[in-house]
Structure 1
Amino acid sequence: MEKMGRNAIVGQSGGPTAVINSSLVGVFQAAKSRGAQHVYGMRYGVKGLLEEQVVDLSDTLRDNLDIEILKRTPASYLGSCRYKLPVPAEDPALYEKLFGILKKLDVGYFFYIGGNDSMDTISKLSDYACMTGSDIKFMGVPKTIDNDLMNTDHTPGYGSAAKYIGAIMKEITRDSLVYGTRNVTIVEVMGRNAGWLTGAAALAKAEDCEGVDMICLPEVAFDIDHFIERLDVLQRAKAGVVIAVSEGVRVHDGRYVCELTEELGPVDAFGHKTLTGAARFLANKAVRELGCKARAIELSTLQRCSSHMASRVDITEAFQVGGAAAKAAFEGHSGEMVGLRRLSNDPYQCTTELHDIHTIANFEKKVPGEWITPDGVGVTQEFLAYMRPLIQAELTPIYVDGLPRHIYIK
C-alpha cells in the first residue's frame, strides 16, 4: 500500500449554489487544523485536475476576512465542471494519470463537493483506490439545490434556494395584482426529476400573501388538457393567477413538456438534457386556447446563487458538512458522503452522519407522494414543516459601496 500523503485537495462540481463555498471553507479549515500541510483546490473540478490546474488555498485565502467573505460569496470559488469519469476498466490510463497527479502533490485526502454526479466521481475514485492499494481517502460533501441526494435529510444549497423561491413568489404575486385585470403568470423553477425546489413555492402563502394557485411537480404526470381546464376556472375567478411549474414536468408518455417546444438544448456529459421552455409553452397555449393574458418567467440561474438572502441555517450546515468530511477522512474513512440527519423540527436540530457512497451515487430522492396534495397541484403541511426550518435567519453580506463584496481567484 502506498504511503498516505500529507496534503489534502478539494474540488467543486456541478451547478453552483449560494452556500457551496461555505462547505469549501469547512473542508479547508478542518483539514488545516488536523495537520494538512497544504490544502489544494482543483480549478474546474476533476476535469481541471487532469490538466493540473491546482491552487494552494493558503495562497488565495490569506486571512480571516477572506474566509468570512468566501462564506458569503455565491457560486463555485474554484470553478466547476460536469465531467463524467469512465469506469476504470474502460480507461485505466486516465486513472493512472489522475492518481499520478495526486501522488506528485503528495495528496492523502480528496474531497469533492457536489450533487449526484459528483458522488458518482467519488464512488469511482474510491473504488479504484481500493483496487490499486492506494490509501488516499475519498470523501463526498453534499451540495445541490435540487435536494435529491439519498441518505441525507436535505442538502446544503436547498434551504437558500427554497428561501429565494418563497420570497420571489410573494413578489410575483404582488405584481400580478397591481392592475386588477385578469392575468396568468407561470414561473418555471429548476428541478429535473424531483420537485423539492418547485414545492418551495408553497412557502409564499401566509397571512400577508395569497400564495400560488398551482404547483406542478415532476413526480406527477402532467396532463396538459387538465392543466388548461383548471387554469380556465382559476383565471375566470380571480385577477392574478400565479403558477409554479418544474422545468422537469413530463406528460404521460415520458416526454418533458419543454420538449414539446422543439427548443431543447444539448445533453451534458452525464446525458442530462438541457431543460428550458416549459413555462413558455404553457403560457403560449393558455393564450391560444383561453384568450387570456399570460406570461412566462424562467428563474433560470437566478435561483441558484442568491446569496444576498441566503439562509443562515443553510450556510452553517454547509460549513458543518465540509468540516465533518475532513474529520472523517483524517480518521481513516473513505468512499463515504456526509449526510444530515434531522433530530427535531421544533426546536430544529440536525446532526451529521456518514453513508456509503454506493448507496447515494446514481440514485435520486423524490418528493414523497404523501407530501403532494390529492389533486396533484399542491403540497401538504408536512412538506411545509420540512422546509421552514431550512430557510430561517440570514447571514448578512459584507457590503462595500452599497453592494455585497465577493471574493474570487484572480
Structure 2
Amino acid sequence: MAKLRGNAVVAQSGGPTAVINASACGVIQEALKHEEIENVYGAQNGIVGILNGDLFDVRKENPAVVEGLKYTPGAALGSVRYKVKTREDYERIFEALKKHNIRYFFYNGGNDSMDTADKVNKLAVEKGYEMRCIGVPKTVDNDLPFTDHCPGYASAAKYLATTVAESWIDQRDLPSTKILIVEAMGRHAGWLAAAGALAKRADDDGPHLVYLPEVVFDTNQFVKDVQNIYKAVDRVLIVVSEGIHTADGTLLGESGARDAFGHAQLGGCAQVLKDILDKEVGAKSRYIIPASAQRAAAHVASLTDINEAWLVGKKAVEYAVEGISGVMVTLEREPGNGYRITTGKANLSEVANVEKKVPLEWINAEGNNVTADFINYARPLLEGEPPLRYEGGIPVFSRLAKHFIVK
C-alpha cells in the first residue's frame, strides 16, 4: 500500500485529565518519526482551533518540553467544550482540514469527541478525501466502552482515594467531626466515586459508605445506613457520586443549568446530604468537593496511567500510518495472573455517545458500597509515581511555545 503523504493534526477536547498531555506527547513523538507525515500541527482549543485555523507547528517545539508533557496536567494544546451540531458545521471542519492538507486527524477526548471524530471520518469518506481519523481516549469518568479502562481515570482515582485516606485520618483524630461526605465527579457512571473505596485498609477505616449513580438513591435508607455506622464506630465517612439520583430520576446535585452539550450541570449533592443528616442524625458533619482538582493532580498521578496514556497516543499514529481509520485506540487487559495491557481498537461509530457504567455485580446488595471485584479491577491501575522535577518545592510543568502557522 502506498504511503499517504500529508500533514497531521492533534487536538484535545473536553475536561482535561492529569495524563491527557501524555497522549498528546505519544502522538507527537510518534508522528515525527514518519516521513509521510510532512508537518505535525497542534490545534488550539480542539475543534474550534481547526475551524478557526489556529494551528501551531509542533516541529518547532523543544523536544524536552514535549517529553515533559507526560507529567503535565491540564490540556497543553488547549481544550474546548464545543458541540458540533449541524452538517454545515462538519462541512466547515472538513474544508478546514482539507485546506491545510490534513491527512491524519487525532482527536483526544471522551464520548462526544469520539462522535465528532466519527462524523469527520464519515464525511471524508463521503467526499472521497483520503484521511485517517483516530480517536485517542480520555476521561476521568472511565465511561468509554470497549476499553478496559480509560487514560485519565487511574490518576483521578488515585487522587480521590488519597484524599479519602488523608481525610479519614483527619476525621478520625478530631473528636468534633463525626460525619464527612466526599463528593466525586461522575454524572451517570460511578467509577470515580467507587475509587474512594481503595482508601480502606482496616475494617473500621473510611470510607464506610459509597453511593454510585448506577443504583437508585433512597434517602430514607441512606439515613439508616449512616445511623448504623455512626452507632458502631462513632464516625462516618461517605463517598458519593455527583450523579446520584432518586427513583424518579431526580439528581440530588442538579443546579438547573446546562453545559454546551445539553448535560445537566452537577455539583452540590454533598450539601443536600449534609442538610439531611444534620436534621436526621444531629451529629456534626462536613463535606468536601474536590471538583476539578480530581483531574489536575499530576503530583499524585499514576505512572501506570501516564505510560498507558502515552501508549494510546503512540498507537494512534501507528494505526493511522498502517492505513487504519475510523477507530478509537483501546486498552485490553490480558487474562491470567498479574497486570498486563495490550492495545486494540474499536469502531468510532460504536463508541460514540455510549457510556460504560460500573457493573451492577460490582456494587453490593445494599447499594451502599463496592465489592472486591471492583477493588481487584481498579487497584493495579494506580501503581507507580511520576518522576517529577521540582523547583522551590513545586513541580515544574511543560508549556508549549506554540508557533502558529499563517492562516
TM-score by length of 1: 0.94
Contact 2:184–2:239 (8 Å) recurs in 1? yes
Cα shift at 1:359: 1.1
Paired position in structure 1 for 2:301: 310
- Residues 1:158 and 2:149 aligned together: no
Are 2:376 and 1:385 aligned? Answer: yes
- Verify: 1:366 aligned to 2:357, yes or no: yes
DSSP 3-state at the match of 2:112: helix
Residue aligning to 2:404? none
Amino acid at match of 1:55: F
**Corresponding residue number in structure 1 for 2:70:** 71
CA distance in 1 between counterparts of 2:34 and 2:381 reads 30
Question: Residues of 1 paired with 2:275 and 2:399: CA distance?
Answer: 41
Tell me how far apart the structure 2 counterparts of residues 180 and 289 of structure 1 sit (CA, whole Å): 20
Q: Secondary structure in 2 aligned to 1:134?
A: coil
Q: Which residue of 2 aligns with 1:235?
A: 230
| Alpha-carbon distance in structure 2 between the residues aligned to 1:58 and 1:118 | 25
Q: Report if the CA contact (8 A) 2:179-2:237 is conserved.
A: yes
Instruction: Identify the residue that residue 264 of structure 2 maps to in structure 1.
Output: 273
Secondary structure of the 1:140 match is strand
3-state DSSP of counterpart to 1:138: strand
Distance in 2 of aligned mates of 1:58 and 1:182: 54
Query: How is 1:134-213 mapped onto 2 (pairs within 5 angstroms)?
Result: 134-181=129-176, 183-207=178-202, 210-213=205-208
Structure-2 residue corresponding to 1:297: 288
Structure 1 counterpart SS, 2:258: coil
- Give the Cα–Cα distance (whole angstroms) in 1 for the partners of residues 29 and 129 of structure 2: 25
Query: Partners in 2 of 1:313 and 1:346 — Cα distance?
Result: 17
Q: Which amino acid aligns with 1:57?
A: V
* 1:87 CA displacement: 4.4
RMSD over aligned CA atoms reads: 1.6
Partner residue, 2:54: 53
What's 1:247 paired with? Answer: 242
208-217 vs 75-84, greater mean Cα deviation: 208-217
Structure 1 residues 118-171: Cα deviation after superposition (integer angstroms, max 9, x where no partner)? 101111111111111111111100010100000000000011111111111100
Corresponding letter in the other structure for 1:72: Y
Residues 1:113 and 2:114 are matched in the alignment = no
The answer to whether the Cα contact below 8 Å between 1:308 and 1:397 also exists between their aligned partners in 2 is: yes
In the TM superposition, 1:332-347 aligns within 5 A as 332-344=323-335, 346-347=337-338
Alpha-carbon contact 2:176-2:284 (below 8 Å) kept: no
> How far is the alpha carbon of 1:232 from its aligned partner?
1.9
Cα deviation, 1:79-107, whole Å, max 9, x if unaligned, reads 1111121242xx2xx33332222222221
Query: How far is the alpha carbon of 1:46 from its aligned partner?
Result: 0.2
Cα displacement string for residues 197-252 of structure 1 (whole angstroms, at most 9, x for unaligned residues): 11001101114971301000000100011111221222233232100000000100
Distance 1:4 1:105 in 2: 15
> Percent identity at matched positions?
44
Residues 301 and 234 of structure 1: CA distance in aligned 2, closer, same or farther (over 3 Å): same
Q: Which amino acid aligns with 1:331?
A: E
Q: How many pairs does the alignment contain?
A: 398
Q: Per the alignment, do residues 122 and 95 of structure 1 end up closer, same or farther by CA in structure 2, a change over 3 Å counting?
A: same
CA distance in 2, matches of 1:5, 1:107: 9
Contact kept in structure 1, 2:143 and 2:189, CA below 8 Å: yes
1:408 is displaced (CA, Å) by: 2.1
Partner amino acid for 2:305? D
CA contact (8 A) 2:206 2:236 kept: no
Q: TM-score, normalised by structure 2?
A: 0.94
2:250 partner amino acid: R
Task: Please state whether the residue corresponding to 1:163 is helix, strand or coil.
Answer: helix
1:122 aligns with 2:121: no
Distance 2:90 2:160 in 1: 40
Gaps of 5+ in 2: 402-407
Structure 2 CA distance for aligned equivalents of residues 179 and 355 of structure 1? 50
Give 2:354's aligned amino acid: F
Residue equivalent to 1:83 = 82
SS in 2 for 1:236: helix
1:395 is aligned with what amino acid?
Answer: P
398-407 or 277-286, which moves further after superposition? 398-407
Match of 2:180, as an amino acid? T
Q: Distance in 1 between matches of 2:97 and 2:5?
A: 9
